[in-house]
Amino acid sequence: MDCKQFENNILDYLDGSLAEAEKQRFKAHLQSCASCQAELEAQQKLMTLFGQVPQETPSDRLRDGFLDMLAEEQQAQVVHMAHKKEFPWKTAFQIAASIALVMGGFFLGGLRSGDTSQEQISALQQESKVLKQQMMLALMENRSPSKRIQAVNYTEEIAQPDATLIKALADRLLYDANSNVRLAAAEALGNFKSSQQARAALIEALNTEKDPSLQIELIGILVRLQEKRALEPMKKLLETQETPIYVKEQLNNGITQLI
Amino acid sequence: MKKVSTLIAFLSVCLMAHAQKSYTHSLSGIKKVVVSSNTTMEFKTGNSNELVIGHIETKDGHQHHDHNDDQIDERAKGLTPIYAGGNDNTNGFGFSVEKEGDVLKVKDLKSFMQRSGLRFTLPKGIDLSIDTGNLGSADVNGFDSDIEVNSNVGGVVLTNVTGPITARTSTGNIEVVFTEVNQTSPISLRSSTGAVDVSLPANTKANLELKSTMGNVFTDFDVKYQQEEGMKVVGANRKIDTQINGGGVLIKLSSSVGNVYLRKK
Ligand SMILES: [Zn+2]
């Protein structure tokens, strides 16, 4: 078993769905590989984190019910993973997101039965939101650009992003080494029309971005936002000698739409 | 006795010459290999858990040699070459190889002029991040791992891959043929002026985002904008957002000036 196969087997190992022969090979690799030991520990911590999520909820009754629910859902998830291998439950974030989803369903159930207060429900919802955001922020630091793009795209689901989230997206836009990730961040920020922080990051990016196709995307987004403060960096880019002719075309086009 | 020592001398010369032809590094505990070089690079899959760097074979079976391998510089006898980019720790092969946690960083210290193509052999499941510098190109075949490629003028060809894939070129074309599409995280392929040409199995589940700012988008998949048979222009100057086979992982293909082609395999 190599490290890749090991990685693919971690969740199955943790939930006990690995066949005996596989389990032996898994353990043999574990003995010999420090980096996979670390990976397994990290995954175990993550799973524990999900188990601990509702511990500080106000009502014991609510909490117990919730824990049962969570345990049931984890059970269901095990079945899911064991029988539908192709289903993409393999990344930690997706597990977190699905649990958050179940929590949402549980709140609705609680509301209907009318035996929990609105405050308790919002406290729980708040916690699940925080967890979801923490997972998203962590995934934005993943070394795979594809995973970082995935994390950036998840922000589309968030209607009211807080300053921490916008800051994280702005960091991706301005500092990510991979320009495909920077593009995803630009598009995500462009969706938050009413955030001044998001607009400021997009304008800043137009000042610093060297990738021509990303410059074109930024121009498009800022023109769509009717962001007149973009005129200055656009004019500057138009006067820069290194700017490719096809970018200048888009700049001229954009400037006339903003003036 | 004299014959024996001559033989030993001859053999050791052979061994030294051999050491120059390839370099091997164990991948025990390594999950990702990060490669940067300015030359034509081929990535092939191998069965052992190691990285082998060699020269690209020509059609008649001969290996290319680096341009200055053949000339023995008498003045350099007893000296070792040093490079601006780092220390060669590959026995004269001209690479700096460093392990950082479970990542192996492989940096070519020689210039474009000093290389004429390199072949990297690795296990098919190892994650790859490839930087082709200013003039290099990448041809990757048979990996089912997470692949990242950044290229400038050189083309990027990925064959028999599954993704996730993140690729970007300035002027080079990007060509990708998928055997199947890994659904865990997005595929993103971008070029500034080059073409982006992708082949997918017809039953691939995906959410597509296709865009060419100044060129055209062509496909033979059933997407909303398609009007006639065959490979047709499905929408100039605008982004096409659509699903195939009920939707799935995001596949995002874009070029600013070049065309985008999405083919059924
Ligand atoms: Zn390992």
DSSP chain A: --HHHHHHHHHHHHTT-S-HHHHHHHHHHHHH-HHHHHHHHHHHHHHHHHHHGGGG-S-HHHHHHHHHHHHHHHHHHHHHHHH-TTS---SHHHHHHHHHHHHHHHHHHHHHHT-S-HHHHHHHHHHHHHHHHHHHHHHTT-SSHHHHHHHHHHGGG-SS--HHHHHHHHHHHHH-S-HHHHHHHHHHHHH-TT-HHHHHHHHHHHHH---HHHHHHHHHHHHHTT-GGGHHHHHHHHH-TTS-HHHHHHHHHHHHHH-
pLDDT of residue A234: 96
CB-CB neighbors (< 8 A) of A187 in chain B: none
Distance CA A252, CA A242 (A): 16
Nearest residue, CB atoms, B186 vs list A153, A213, A216:
A153
A:B CB pairs within 8 Å: 105
Say whether B213 and A213 touch across the interface (CB within 8 A).
yes
Question: Is the residue at B179 inside a domain?
Answer: yes
Per-residue pLDDT in tens (0 to 9) along chain B, 265 residues: 455 555 454 444 444 444 468 899 999 999 999 999 999 999 999 999 999 999 887 655 555 555 555 455 778 777 778 888 888 888 888 999 999 999 999 999 998 888 889 999 999 999 999 999 989 999 999 999 999 999 999 999 999 999 999 999 999 999 999 999 998 889 999 999 999 999 999 999 999 999 998 889 999 998 865 444 445 444 334 678 889 998 899 999 999 999 999 999 9
Nearest residue, CB atoms, A88 vs list B127, B184, B192:
B184
CATH number for domain A158-259, candidates 3.30.160.100, 3.90.1150.10, 1.25.10.10, 1.20.120.1760: 1.25.10.10
**SS3 assignment, position B12:** helix
Q: For the segment B222-252, what is each residue's pLDDT rounded down to a tens digit?
A: 886 544 444 544 433 467 888 999 889 999 9
Nearest residue, CB atoms, B256 vs list A3, A34, A213:
A213
Report strand pairing: B103-108 vs B95-100.
antiparallel
Nearest residue, CB atoms, B256 vs list A39, A87, A246:
A246
CA–CA min distance A41, chain B (Å)? 15
Helix axes A196-208, A163-175, angle to 10 degrees: 10
B166 in A contact zone (CB under 8 Å): yes
Which residues of chain A fall below pLDDT 50? 51-91, 93-94, 97-115
B49 in A contact zone (CB under 8 Å): yes
Residue A35 Cα to ligand 1 middle (Å): 6
| Domain residue limits, chain A | 3-49, 87-139, 158-259
Provide the edge-to-edge strand list for the sheet that holds B187-191.
Answer: B95-100, B103-108, B32-36, B127-131, B147-150, B165-169, B187-191, B249-255, B206-212, B240-244
Question: Is the residue at B187 inside a domain?
Answer: yes
Q: Model's pTM, two decimal places?
A: 0.74
CA–CA min distance B230, chain A (Å)? 29
Distance CA B206, CA B221 (A): 11
Total domains, chain B = 1
CB-CB neighbors (< 8 A) of A87 in chain B: 183
Residue A32 Cα to ligand 1 middle (Å): 7
A234 in B contact zone (CB under 8 Å): no
Q: For the segment B46-79, what is each residue's pLDDT rounded down to a tens digit?
A: 999 999 999 887 655 555 555 555 455 778 777 7
CB A121 within 8 A of CB A111: yes
Distance CA B211, CA B260 (A): 7
Distance CA A203, CA B260 (A): 28
CB-CB neighbors (< 8 A) of A144 in chain B: 127, 146, 148, 164, 166, 185
- Which amino acid does the sequence have at A195? S
Residue B5 Cα to ligand 1 middle (Å): 45
pLDDT of residue A171: 96
Nearest residue, CB atoms, B29 vs list A33, A179, A244:
A33
pLDDT of residue B95: 92
Residue B156 Cα to ligand 1 middle (Å): 29
Distance CA A186, CA A222 (A): 10
For residue B129, the enclosing domain spans: 21-264
Distance CA A24, CA A10 (A): 13
Handedness of CA A66, A72, A74, A77 (dihedral sign): negative
pLDDT of residue B62: 57
Question: Is the residue at B147 inside a domain?
Answer: yes
Question: Is the residue at B4 inside a domain?
Answer: no
Rounded CA Rg of chain A? 23
CA–CA min distance B258, chain A (Å)? 11
CB-CB neighbors (< 8 A) of A3 in chain B: 29-31, 102, 125-126
B128 in A contact zone (CB under 8 Å): no
pLDDT of residue B224: 65
pLDDT of residue A36: 85
